[in-house]
Structure 1
Amino acid sequence: MRLRSTCAVLGAALLLAAVPGSASAATGQFRYDYVTVEGYEATGFLNDPPSGECLDLPGVGPENPRPGDSPKNRTDAWATVFAGSGCTGDWFRLRPHTGGASERLKVRSVVFD
């Protein structure tokens, strides 16, 4: 009986070691406003975005001459927003949970700590 218990414990440990760890991600939602190429007001959002990865914001890429604005960080991680795509240009940090800015802050990309 002891051998069976030992084998079960070892098997479970090997199984846990073989399962890859989950990717680090910010939990929550990041929101921003923008005007579509067609001229409609819209709100974009990222749910549980990955951490440490530059993300170009959907809807405000090269096809849209107008950047997004009014970012709201409702995730549990710091968000650094950038004026340019590819996390380039002027940047601003938004604190977790309550960080936000007005329509004066223009954004095209973000990275989460």
Structure 2
Amino acid sequence: MRTLLALTSAFALLLTATGTASAADGVFTYRYVDEEGQVQTGALVDPPSGECIEIPEIADWDTDAFRPRNHTDSRAVVFKDNDCESAAYFSLRPHGGQGSERLLLRSVVFS
């Protein structure tokens, strides 16, 4: 009986731990030009996986972020539009994938 209880408890703990792993660990950085015309660096720290994330600093105005750096443990797919649905996208590998100054983005999703 104790063995069955121990196995059941271990299985329940495993299910709980697996269900909470829903973030890409690490930092995703990008650059953008602020309202004063200055180049700034933005970051998403431990971003959620499987959700479209609009780049927050540029969400409300007509400009793009650029030069993304993916230092998370997940693949990052960057999009030229706000809702991660455009045909214009680029995939950045985990642990150091990067785009040039010419790679423009407005949203990203992590796998």
Q: Same fold (TM over 0.5)?
A: yes
Give 5+ residue unaligned stretches, structure 1.
none
Separation in 2 of the partners of 1:55 and 1:86? Answer: 8
Equivalent of residue 72 in structure 2, options 75, 80, 97: 75
> Hey, what does 2:90 align to over in structure 1?
92
Say whether residues 1:39 and 2:37 are aligned partners.
Answer: yes
Task: State the SS of the aligned residue for 1:72.
Answer: strand
Give 5+ residue unaligned stretches, structure 2.
none
> What is the RMSD computed on CA atoms of the aligned residues?
2.4
Shift of the alpha carbon at 1:19? Answer: 5.6
Task: State the SS of the aligned residue for 1:59.
Answer: helix
1:23–1:50 contact (8 Å) kept in structure 2:
no
Separation in 2 of the partners of 1:78 and 1:30? Answer: 11
Separation in 2 of the partners of 1:18 and 1:52? Answer: 19
> Hey, what does 2:61 align to over in structure 1?
64
More helix as a share of residues? 2
The 3 A distance-change label for structure 1 pair 17 and 95 is closer
Separation in 1 of the partners of 2:6 and 2:90? Answer: 49
Larger Rg belongs to: 1
Amino acid at match of 2:56: P
- Runs of 4+ off more than 2 Å: 15-21
Shift of the alpha carbon at 1:75? Answer: 0.4
Q: TM-score, normalised by structure 1?
A: 0.80
Shift of the alpha carbon at 1:37? Answer: 2.2
Report the number of matched residues.
109
Separation in 1 of the partners of 2:40 and 2:103? Answer: 16
Separation in 2 of the partners of 1:18 and 1:51? Answer: 18
